[in-house]
Amino acid sequence: MRVLAALLAFFALIGAADPILVPDVSQHQVQVRQGFTGTQLLLFGAILTPEGTRAGRDYDIVVVLEGPARPVVLREKEKVAGVWVNAHSTVFRSMPSFYAVASARPLRDIVDERTAAIYELGLDSLQLSPAASIDPAQQAHYAQGLVSLMRGKGLYQQDEHAVTVKDQVLYQARISLPSNVQTGVYTAETFAIRNGRVVASAISEVEVVKVGMERGIEDFSRRRALSYGLMAVAISVLMGWAAGRLFALV
């Protein structure tokens, strides 16, 4: 019994060494209305001991905001006879529709490549798995192209000067959501890292929803896809006819 008690005390002591993260988000719901131009989220919180006091050690805080995952087809264009055409393509089973990572200093100075890959910390460490067997070099080529494309749209971000930590307790980071974000539930995960090792993590959620007319149109397109498609074609034809008549009268 004494040995068992000693072991329990020892493991309790080990567990007490790791800090606890208490995260929060400035908005738990982002409403997308007509004329939505994007918004900025404040991700903040505290790093404490299990007893609720200041951790009192130097930790790196890394925050990752990730949107709903979806499959994607990536096509590579080639110039043939002076015309750009789709040449090669690949399918990724799952990719985050939005990904942003924030830290106080370069990630390469915080974690090694193995740890970054395990926790997907950084754009270079995203695990984008192809749906079929593919040459590793070609897979890396497509993955880099996809990340570059998403980064150009503002949907993939990496800011290594976005996190501030005050008194080794309170941290905060600002991440911008562009106007073209996908609706759904986003996960905001905070990591506490010390000496290159993730010692604690915690998750908050943010829901991006469409409201008003935009939500009505989206719901209609999902419930009645055929009717929505026919209506879109009819409106396009009508607008083309009206434009033709207008120019004919000029």
pTM for the complete prediction? 0.75
Does residue 226 form part of some domain? yes
pLDDT above 90: residue 97: yes
Does residue 3 form part of some domain? no
Give residue 13's pLDDT band: very low, low, confident or very high (50, 70, 90). Answer: very low
**What is the percent of the chain with per-residue pLDDT over 70, rounded to a whole number?**
75
Residues 155 and 231 in one domain: no
Cβ–Cβ < 8 Å for 43, 189: no
Q: Is 95 exposed, middle or buried (0-12, 13-18, 19+ CB in 10 A)?
A: buried
Residues 200 and 231 in one domain: no
Cβ–Cβ < 8 Å for 80, 49: no
Give residue 56's pLDDT band: very low, low, confident or very high (50, 70, 90). Answer: low
Q: Quote the domain boundaries for residue 160.
A: 18-210
Which pLDDT score is estimated for 116?
95
Give residue 6's pLDDT band: very low, low, confident or very high (50, 70, 90). Answer: very low
Q: Is 225 exposed, middle or buried (0-12, 13-18, 19+ CB in 10 A)?
A: exposed
pLDDT above 80: residue 194: yes
Cβ–Cβ < 8 Å for 25, 135: no
Please write the tens of the pLDDT for every residue from 126-160.
Answer: 988 777 777 777 777 888 888 999 999 999 999 99
- How many helices (H) and strands (E) in the chain? 5, 12
Does residue 81 form part of some domain? yes
Does residue 250 form part of some domain? yes
Residues 169 and 224 in one domain: no
Which pLDDT score is estimated for 11?
37
Domain count, the chain: 2
Average pLDDT of span 23-43 = 92
Residues 226 and 167 in one domain: no
Residues 178 and 63 in one domain: yes
Average pLDDT of span 46-75 = 84
- Tokens representing 213 are 């007319």
Is the four-CA dihedral 25, 36, 75, 142 of positive or negative sign? negative
Residues 28 and 92 in one domain: yes
Residues 167 and 245 in one domain: no
Residues 23 and 96 in one domain: yes
**CA-closest candidate to residue 121, choices 169, 195, 66, 165:** 66
Range in 89-93, 151-155, 165-169, 219-223 the model is least confident about: 219-223
Spatial CB neighbours of 5, under 8 Å, sequence gap ≥ 6: none
Could you give the angle at the alpha carbon of 206 between the alpha carbons of 122 and 22, nearest 5°?
75
Residues 99 and 161 in one domain: yes
Residues 243 and 187 in one domain: no
Average pLDDT of span 23-45 = 92
Does residue 57 form part of some domain? yes
Residues 31 and 69 in one domain: yes
Q: Which residue has the tokens 């976005």?
A: 162
